[in-house]
Structure 1
Amino acid sequence: MQSKARITSIGTYVPERILHNDDLEKIIDTNDEWIIKRTGIKERRIAAEDEFASTLAFKAVENLIQRSGKTLVDVDGIIVSTTTADFVMPSVACLVQARFDIPQAAAFDFNTACSGFAYAAHIANGLITSGLHKKILLITTETMSKIMDYTDRATCILFGDGAAAFLLEYDEVNPSFIASHYGTNGHGGAHVYCTNLASVMNGVALKDDGKLVQNGPEVYKWASRTVPEGAKILVAQAKIPLASIDWFVPHSANLRMIQSICEKLKHPIEKTLTSVEYYGNTSSVSIPLALQRGLDDGRLQNGHTLLLYGFGSGLTYAGHIVKWQLDPQREQSF
């Protein structure tokens, strides 16, 4: 079925506090050179004590409204991707509905971790293309610092906090989505996890302290294989050559991983948008922040063809080829 959904607006927010590599040197056995060499990360943003996933989401939506001039009164769906919701219930989406007094909208959260934006876009595109919805507010928001074990030097150096908001609207003439692909490898769930009510997975006891645990080498190997395969499926589905993609925008987990993926795809790193250098791994927010960086410095323009690809805990993966076409009244500067 041909898509009938278009991404029309974007808003983003990152917390004010910056955690530099030099700051991490003071609490764990690491240093700036070691971190940059292995991850490419220079700094990341960290939520304040009184900032939560909903707080960041509110500010991203406010940014979207300010920059696009859009109204939310006719939004009929609110989808939030988050790994770090304020509460088990109610959902962050319900808090957003209340904050902006959106009169008639379905509202729900879901969690596919770092692939969340790509999954959310798939859901929103399907709901709009099917005719069930006309205008969906899609939000990704993460406070990864609140589930971080700052004694685990291999993991805590990676993650940061942030949020993004998008409007997807019905448009059968100029839709965004050209091709989509997603899936799951649940057998790898124990490679990236954070316990909640249970502490056993597939018969294996897990570290049960409510903090993120990651087997970095296993995730690296899986992603380095899965993302190139998925990207090739997408361009085949779209019937276009990879060389025609203006920007590859993968999940910004680790700059070295992205370089490896680009090498396997034979895709130039210069045609890749990332956010990991200045925001760290922001889970489901990393692709939106990479898009924002591209907009801010003028690299990303309306009419560009993008290959977006998320991957994360689950293990989950999802990708899209999209035509980038924001509404013209949107301000291009942050």
Structure 2
Amino acid sequence: MAHRRSVVVGCGAYLPETVVTNTDLAERGIETSDEWIVQRTGIRQRHIARPDETTSVLGTRAARAALDEAGLSPADIDLVICATSTPDHTFPSTATQIQAALGIEGGFAFDLQAVCAGFVYAVATADRFLATGGAKRALVIGAETFSRLLDWEDRTTCVLFGDGAGAIVLEARDGEGTNADRGVLASCLRSDGRHRAKLYVDGGPGSTGTTGKLRMEGREVFRFAVGSVTDVIEETFRASGTTADDLAWFVPHQANRRIIEASADKLGIAREKVVLTVDRHGNTSAASIPLALDAARRDGRIREGDLVMIEAIGGGFTWGAALLRW
């Protein structure tokens, strides 16, 4: 019996041209050093958007790259989901601005806000629409200009984040209903709003009327991240009838190298299967996973048929995992 799957048919990314290294930050007067940042996070540099490079601009460029790889035109897309915490405007949604910039006149578009877990949430959401016949092809985008939320006098947070966008095209195709199918095989999402104070932005239109700045309790976030991501990954393995040994690649949210490696070790995932881009990109929130997927796809690591696990945790807390066969 046929089982409809959401298959990745294209992948793309865009990074702003401006690169800021750890040394650059120290030379700008931030009390830090390359050694301090690398030792604690694994980050060596990040990309920073120009004033005219809004989140929708980054997202549109990544989406065009994904469409080009898929060999599709904008007219082939009937669903656009943009995962972002840094929208161009309070409204309309950034997804509709990307839809308009691409020239998509049909279908529907909306933003999804789950902070760093946003892309995983967006993949799971798009999969539901495609699996039930609500759409045929979806652009799933993670796009962020997190540099605009940073307090550049807070060395514990401003060194961590960067800007960028990544996108995939998902297409509904019939499979056999086994874990040998291409496409999204399983996903698991979680949230717990009691942890707001550990990672949040201290502003918003409904509270302060300002954008606000990012605030974080780094040690608490680290502790929760390593302890929580394993449950959603293990549940995703159970739902798909797979194990860590079956994985070709583990593509986690790129926040901190120590978190990534500790999580992989706890799950029994070999480190050589872990895709790391945090050294080059920093934490790009919802954009980090699609940027990493694109990097691993273009350098030949991820190939058609590979089993890939993505996972992320973000402010709120929100967290989740999805397993797909490329």
Distance in 2 (alpha carbons) for counterparts of 1:295 and 1:320: 17
1:237 aligns with 2:239: yes
Q: How does 1:25-104 map to 2 (within 5 A)?
A: 25-26=26-27, 27-104=29-106
Supply the distance in 1 between the matched residues of 2:102 and 2:205 (Cα, whole angstroms): 32
Q: Which amino acid aligns with 2:26?
A: E
Letter in 2 for 1:259: E
Equivalent residues in 2 for 1:150-169, closer than 5 Å: 150-169=152-171
What residue identity is the alignment partner of 2:108?
A
> Who is 1:193 aligned against?
200
| CA distance in 2: counterparts of 1:229 and 1:318, whole angstroms | 9
Distance apart, 1:65 and its partner CA: 3.1
Greater shift in the superposed pair: 266-275 or 247-256: 266-275
Q: Does 1:142 align with 2:150?
A: no
In structure 2, the partner of 1:330 is none
| Alignment check: 8 A CA contact 1:275 1:287 kept | no
Q: Distance in 2 between matches of 1:187 and 1:198?
A: 19
Q: Distance in 2 between matches of 1:177 and 1:259?
A: 24
User: Is the 1:140–1:285 Cα contact (8 Å) retained in structure 2?
Assistant: yes
Q: Deviations over 1:270-316 (max 9, x none)?
A: 11012211000000111111112212221111111011111101110
- Tell me how far apart the structure 2 counterparts of residues 51 and 223 of structure 1 sit (CA, whole Å): 31
Cα distance in 2 for partners of 1:209, 1:108 equals 21
Runs of 4+ in 1 over 4 A off after TM superposition: none
CA distance in 2, matches of 1:209, 1:58: 23
Stretch deviating more after TM superposition (260-269 or 279-288) = 260-269
Residue 266 of structure 1 deviates from its aligned partner by: 2.3
Q: 2:22 and 2:172 mapped to 1: Cα distance?
A: 43
CA contact (8 A) 2:79 2:138 kept: yes
Q: Secondary structure at the match of 2:74?
A: coil
Deviation at 1:240, TM superposition (A): 1.7
The aligned residue for residue 253 of structure 2 is: 251
Specify the alignment match of 1:226 in structure 2: 228
**Counterpart-to-counterpart distance in 2, 1:262 and 1:4:** 27
Deviation at 1:89, TM superposition (A): 0.8
1:182 aligns with 2:184: no
d(CA) in 1 for partners of 2:129 and 2:239? 21
In the alignment, is the contact (CA less than 8 A) between 2:136 and 2:171 conserved in 1? Answer: yes
Q: Determine if the alignment matches structure 1 residue 110 to structure 2 residue 117.
A: no
Structure 2: 5+ residue runs without aligned partners? 176-180
Shift of 1:190: 1.8
Question: Residue by residue, what CA displacement relative to the aligned partner does 1:227-274 show, whole Å, maximum 9, x if unpaired?
Answer: 122222211221122111111111111001111112211222111012
What is the deviation of 1:103? 1.8
Query: 2: CA distance between counterparts of 1:117 and 1:275?
Result: 16
Q: Measured at CA, do residues 199 and 191 of structure 1 come closer, stay the same or move farther in structure 2, by a change above 3 Å?
A: farther
- TM-score, structure 1 as length reference: 0.91
Per the TM alignment, residue 6 of structure 1 is displaced from its structure 2 partner at its CA by 1.0
Q: How far apart are the structure 1 equivalents of 2:242 and 2:81?
A: 30
Q: Which residue of 2 aligns with 1:20?
A: 21
Q: For residue 76 of structure 2, give the secondary structure of its aligned residue in structure 1.
A: coil
* Whole-Å separation in 2 of the counterparts to 1:100 and 1:296: 23
CA contact (8 A) 1:147 1:211 kept: yes
Give the distance between the partners of 1:98 and 1:301, measured in 2 at CA: 32
Q: Deviations for 1:139-165, whole angstroms, at most 9, x for unmatched residues?
A: 110000011111111111110000112
Paired with 2:97 and 2:243, the residues of 1 have a C-alpha distance of: 43
Aligned sequence identity (%): 36
Q: Following the alignment from structure 1 to structure 2, what is the Cα–Cα distance between the partners of residues 66 and 297?
A: 17
CA RMSD of aligned residues (A): 1.6
What is the CA-CA distance between 1:175 and the residue it aligns to? 4.1
Contact 2:142 2:286 (C-alpha < 8 Å) held by counterparts: yes
Query: Alignment partner of 2:169: what SS?
Result: strand
Write the letter of the residue equivalent to 1:53. Answer: T
Alignment of 1:207-222 (within 5 A): 210-222=212-224
Post-superposition Cα deviations, 1:6-60, rounded to whole Å, max 9, x if no partner, equal 1111111000000100011122111001110100001000000111101101211
